[in-house]
Structure formats: C-alpha cells, structure tokens
Amino acid sequence: MPSLADYLTQLDHVGIAAGDLAAAVDFYQNTLGLVEVHREENLEQQVAEVMLQPSSGGAQIQLLAPLSPTSQIAKFLDRRGPGMQQLAFAVSDVEAAAAAARSAGVRVLYETAKNGTKGSKINFLHPADCGGVLIELVQHV
C-alpha cells in the first residue's frame, strides 16, 4: 500500500481560528499585505471563512470564525483562543490518503471525507498522532 507521503502534493494553507473575522481580515490585508482570494460560509462545518495569500501566490491563510456556538471552531476558540488551528496539505486522493494514514496508525477524524472550501473534499488527522498539530487533508475539485 502506498504511504501517506505518496498522496501529499503541497502545503495548501494554514487555518487560523479568529474570534473577530473582520479584525483578522483587516490585520492580514492591511498589516501583512495579503490579498483576499475567496470567502464563503460552510454550513456543514458551521464556519465563515476567508482565504488570503501573498500577491505573488503560494500557500494561503484560511481565517475561520464560528457560525454557531457548537461548531468545532467555537470549541477551539473557547479552549485555546484565537490562533493556528490546523495545517493543511493538498492531496491527490483524500480517501486513499486517509486510508494510508489509518494503515500507519494515525487516527482520522471522519470515516469519509466532508465538504470543504470551494467544493473540496477534506478530512483531518488527529493532533495527538501528529505532534500536537491538527492536519487537514484537502482534495481540490
């Protein structure tokens, strides 16, 4: 069976939990000079999100704010406050990458992939098995 590394294609984005989405967007745009490239509400994940990146391209910053007090981002903010929530890697096949992770003894949060940004398919690797970092696997459409 191929290893998880066989499915990783690049660093995709860094997810940042934000209690105040407008203030976070303002900071990343006006202080760091990042450009907004996408904005949406993901009702399945119960988050509002804004994707930003340097004008030269490359990996993105995903700002996440809760749409409900029971969302995972709301729970994260309650426990840890604003800050880095996850590190995301683009994968060629999210289901195969999740299976390879399971075979390596890494817990995968969802049995099957969920809907992510711009119709992507996503799953997560448990932070306890990844050095304390929640890792997102993203398969773009």
Q: What does the pLDDT look like over 56-79, one tens digit per residue? A: 999 999 999 999 999 999 999 999
pLDDT bucket at 1, cuts 50 / 70 / 90: confident
pLDDT of residue 8: 95
* Euclidean distance between CA atoms 85 and 39, whole angstroms: 18
Nearest by Cα to 24 from 39, 12, 11? 39
Residue 80: CA count within 13 A, CB half-sphere: 12
Domains in the chain: ranges and CATH: 4-139 (3.10.180.10)
Segment (H or E) for 75: helix 72-80
Question: d(Cα 139, Cα 24) in Å, to the nearest integer?
Answer: 26
Give 85's pLDDT tier (boundaries 50, 70, 90): very high
- Please give the average per-residue pLDDT across 104-109, as a whole number: 97
